[in-house]
Amino acid sequence: MTLYKEHDLGTPARPGEATVEVEVDGHPVMVPEGTSVMRAAAMTGIDIPKLCATDSLEAFGSCRLCLVEIDGRRGTPASCTTPVSPGMKVRTQTPKLEKLRQGVMELYISDHPLDCLTCSANGDCELQDMSGVVGLRQVRYGYEGENHLDLAKDTSNPYFDFDASKCIACSRCVRACGEVQGTFALTIEGRGFESKVSAGAGELFMDSECVSCGACVQACPTATLQEKSVVELGMPTRSVLTTCAYCGVGCSFKAELRGDELVRMVPAKEGGANEGHSCVKGRFAFGYATHPDRVMSPMIRESIDDEWREVDWDTAIGYVADRMREIQAEHGVGSIGGITSSRTTNEEVYAVQKLVRGAFGNNNVDTCARVCHSPTGYGLKQTFGTSAGTQDFRSVAKSDVIVVIGANPTDGHPVFASRMKRRLREGAKLVVIDPRRIDLVRSPHIEAQHHLQLQPGTNVAIVNALAHVIVTEGLVDQSFVDERCEDFEKWAEFIARPENSPEITEAITGVPADQVRAAARLYATGGNAAIYYGLGVTEHSQGSTMVMGMANLAMATGNIGRDGVGVNPLRGQNNVQGSCDMGSFPHELSGYRHVSDDAVREIFETLWDRPIQPEPGLRIPNMFDAAVDGTFRALFVQGEDIAQSDPNTKHVMAALKSLDLLVVQDLFINETAKLAHVFLPGTSFLEKDGTFTNAERRINRVRPVMPPKTGKHEWQVACEIAQAMGFPMHYDHSREIMDEIAAVTPTFAGVSFEKLDKLGSVQWPCNDAAPEGTPIMHVDGFVRGKGKFVPTTFVPTEERSTRKFPLILTTGRILSQYNVGAQTRRTANVAWHPEDLLEIHPHDAEVRGISDGDEVSLASRVGETTLRAVLSDRMPVGVVYTTFHHPVTGANVVTTENSDWATNCPEYKVTAVQVGLRTPVMAK
């Protein structure tokens, strides 16, 4: 397609019915109350000239270019700041207005470089456009005297430049940083002629609080803020609408190209998840797709000690199929299996699980969601009846109380965090439950009412204490419970017991009882209350219990089934939700239906013409154990670096080395691929054609910006392996895979590429009952019928601090990096996070003789690694924290085999460790 330009209506939309009729240049239009004259005009097709106005920001009224005349009113008011009124008659084009606008534009141009023909924004500059629109033909003032033309350019940011000589001080970048992103890193410094955009007194952008989200670049109407890629490659000429392949927010982007070269990624205003916003990863960190480390051809070796040899696709696929059959012939049908990826499309995931069930003939398929959000699936299915979050992201705008548990949205889900911060600035109250003082506890213009800084591993004790207050203080929404839920009395008797009181649990959690009581009262009585949670909930030995505990809390207070409430998991990777939806678990087919259900199996058996085993297959941890034991012999790994991401790295490595055949499909030779016998090159999101499903169940189209550099789509590879093994599996296009998914999966019954192209996106369930999807779940009733209360007994983790390992390690993510870093480490994002660091409380550092920046050893009962220490009081004494983005650190070397009781999700968030000053090895 050509370059896709979204129409800018000048000012944001106002909610409500269109009840106010106005007339613009003789054209009548009905708009909601509070709509600006500028927007009303734009809705009739009349675009009033503007520079400081844009529909993503509140009106500012500084440029004076959008002046209009209104019958019965004196003067020429700014159309962006003037609301409509009934019967208003507006004139946007008169000789008086023409003269005024030309005068304003002359002043701008008289202090602006006249380098349009060589400027990187030539053809995409609003100042240039508006000069033409107002009919400016000459500038009377000349260019002598004071000006800003010699101001220095700031090139410190790796992704964009700031050329102050071209700044018109419209404040759009400043306002975008505050209103859209919520960081408030920019300001207008000085007054009058001395006014200029500043990232802090004397600071460069790279040294400021700027998080490089790109909102300022997006908002800038000139070349003042410009992507380096545009400066280098030139203005793009065509667009492809697609979806980001980083976190579970699922932002929509316009991939803008010049010829076949990707120039920039621009967030799409029509994106249901992001509505025109982005983060540093999605906006700028796409260069990994063309990184020289990327492997483009299949490779084979007999032993991991041999050198790789390149082969063609037919050879590689034939080799994999032959070896898989040989291994099964010798060791049995169940001796092989596969792992699907949460970084690939729904169609690619579906193809791999079909390969395992159809061609391998077993249910030995699992997904990386096992190690992150499998407790979400279990816990929400037990209580609500479906394995997914309850709301859409827009819902947070209606929340009065927001509870963030075990999540760090500003780092892990930054675009959603910006939505949340906007609501908090409007007055919503915030409760943060986390061992670490995350940025949301206190940052510009927001502060949490309560930070319950609990000890790692005590989540269930906290949620029980909150519920105890609600039950014993009569704060239950009894009418909701009576009408919509079951088993309440049994749960209420359990939760009211003294051992669940804040006073008793204080000794367990470390959180003062009065703080717990205040937070519980706020959640129960503060209006619409929503829970958002992350891996700090699920990656525990009681992850599933905690998810059920949060569901209990929401049901007891009636905070489910409408805007502004709910229980909402913040998924880590781009398609974690989709990989689960597609039947990647060994016990479930697509749509979360158990393999033991004869009727469900019959649907697939009829379509595939192949029997499906009724018994669940092996989970990932079971595969590793069986590999070490010698009964599991071959593994197909789709797009996951399990040797870096899974816990107890030594055990994982031992399992992988035990395999007769390890097949890895990925972009790079990662830690897992170093142990592989076959490497099958994968495709980046820029080459994929399919769908991702984000954390709010939103199914987004992923459209190819370029053809697969490897020559094959990943789903084609799975199909060809299956066919080589004797299982007929063929599609001509990925849309046919989605059609099959829709045919066999009730929640996807109404989904098709055609519908997604028409609507933009839909949230499942999408079927005859909800043909355009379901933004809010459980509105009139729960999926399971009635919501089920489940007693949630607190069981302490077996992982506890000891004299030898007196500290507790917990882990998390950082804004600039993603997962195991395979993608982001191959971009300029390393400028912000070149290594994993260990945050340690100053008290714990002092008693160990550790200073800020020292190299330290981090040891647990299963392993040891080395990294640099950073002194920080974000954690309580006795708790340390690190990230896991760099394989050289290998944080999971120290994490243990402990896991969630119901799902085997690893207990990453609680590891007993010791930290010591590393003594350099002296040369002999």
| DSSP H helix total and E strand total for the chain | 28, 39
CATH code matching the domain that covers 18-134, chosen among 3.10.20.740, 3.40.640.10, 3.30.1390.10, 3.40.50.300: 3.10.20.740
List all residues 6 or more positions away from 159 whose beta carbon is below 8 Å from its beta carbon: 212, 214, 227, 228, 229, 280, 283, 284, 828
Helix/strand/coil for 462:
helix
445-477 residue pLDDT tens: 999 999 999 999 999 999 999 999 999 999 999
Where does the pLDDT of residue 412 fall: very low under 50, low under 70, confident under 90, or very high at 90 and above? Answer: very high
What would the DSSP string read from start to end of 563-627?
TT-EEEE--SSTTHHHHHHTT-STTEETTTEETT-HHHHHHHHHHHTS---SS----HHHHHHHH
Query: Which amino acid is located at 151 in the chain?
Result: L
Helix 459-472 vs helix 488-495: crossing angle, to nearest 10: 110
CA dist 757 and 82 (Å) reads: 37
Least confident of 93-107, 252-266, 893-907: 893-907
570-606 residue pLDDT tens: 988 889 999 999 999 999 999 999 999 999 999 999 9
Is it true that domain 807-917 has CATH number 2.40.40.20? yes
Structural domain boundaries in the chain: 18-134, 153-290, 299-368+575-743, 373-569, 807-917
Both structure tokens of 206: 């790279």
505-532 residue pLDDT tens: 999 999 999 999 999 999 999 999 999 9
Average pLDDT over residues 873-893: 89
From residue 696, alpha-carbon distances to 150, 520, 703 in Å are: 49, 26, 20
528-554 residue pLDDT tens: 999 999 999 998 999 999 999 999 999
CA dist 427 and 81 (Å) reads: 24
CA dist 260 and 668 (Å) reads: 23
CA dist 520 and 512 (Å) reads: 13
725-776 residue pLDDT tens: 999 999 999 999 999 999 999 999 999 999 999 999 999 999 999 999 999 9
> Does the pLDDT at position 850 exceed 80?
yes
Average pLDDT over residues 31-56: 96
Helix/strand/coil (H, E, C) string of 510-521?
Answer: CCCHHHHHHHHH
What would the DSSP string read from start to end of 845-900?
HHHTT--TT-EEEEE-SS-EEEEEEEE-SSSPTTEEEEE---TTT-GGGT--S-B-
Tokens 């209103």 locate to: 179
What percent of the chain is modeled with pLDDT above 90?
Answer: 86
| 309 dihedral zone (left: phi>0; alpha: psi -120 to 50; beta) | beta
> Does the pLDDT at position 143 exceed 70?
no
What are 154's strand-pairing partners?
162
Q: Which long-range contacts (CB under 8 A, 24 or more apart) does 652-655 make?
A: 652/624, 654/628, 655/623, 655/624, 655/625, 655/627, 655/628
> Does the pLDDT at position 921 exceed 50?
no
List all residues 6 or more positions away from 582 whose beta carbon is below 8 Å from its beta carbon: 340, 346, 349, 350, 353, 590, 741
Provide CATH code, domain 299-368+575-743. Answer: 3.40.50.740
Four-residue CA torsion sign, 884, 890, 894, 899: positive
> 373-569 belongs to which CATH class?
alpha beta
CA dist 808 and 488 (Å) reads: 36
Q: What is the mean pLDDT of the chain?
A: 94
> Does the pLDDT at position 390 exceed 80?
yes
Give the burial class of 191: count Cβ atoms within 10 A of its Cβ; 0-12 exposed, 13-18 middle, 19 or more buried.
exposed
pLDDT of amino acid 922: 41
What would the DSSP string read from start to end of 298-311?
-EE-SSTTSPPEE-
The predicted model scores a pTM of 0.94
| 480 dihedral zone (left: phi>0; alpha: psi -120 to 50; beta) | alpha
321-335 residue pLDDT tens: 999 999 999 999 999
pLDDT of amino acid 459: 96
CA dist 204 and 149 (Å) reads: 19
pLDDT of amino acid 321: 98
686-720 residue pLDDT tens: 999 999 999 999 999 999 999 999 999 999 999 99
Is 22 within 8 Å of 87 (Cβ atoms)? yes
Tokens 């989605």 locate to: 738
Is it true that domain 153-290 has CATH number 3.20.20.210? no
State the greatest distance between any 2 C-alpha atoms of the chain, in Å, as a whole number: 93
CA dist 274 and 776 (Å) reads: 17
Where does the pLDDT of residue 346 fall: very low under 50, low under 70, confident under 90, or very high at 90 and above? Answer: very high
The residue among 682, 669, 619 whose CA lies nearest residue 646 is 619
List all residues 6 or more positions away from 25 whose beta carbon is below 8 Å from its beta carbon: 41, 44, 46, 90, 91, 92, 93
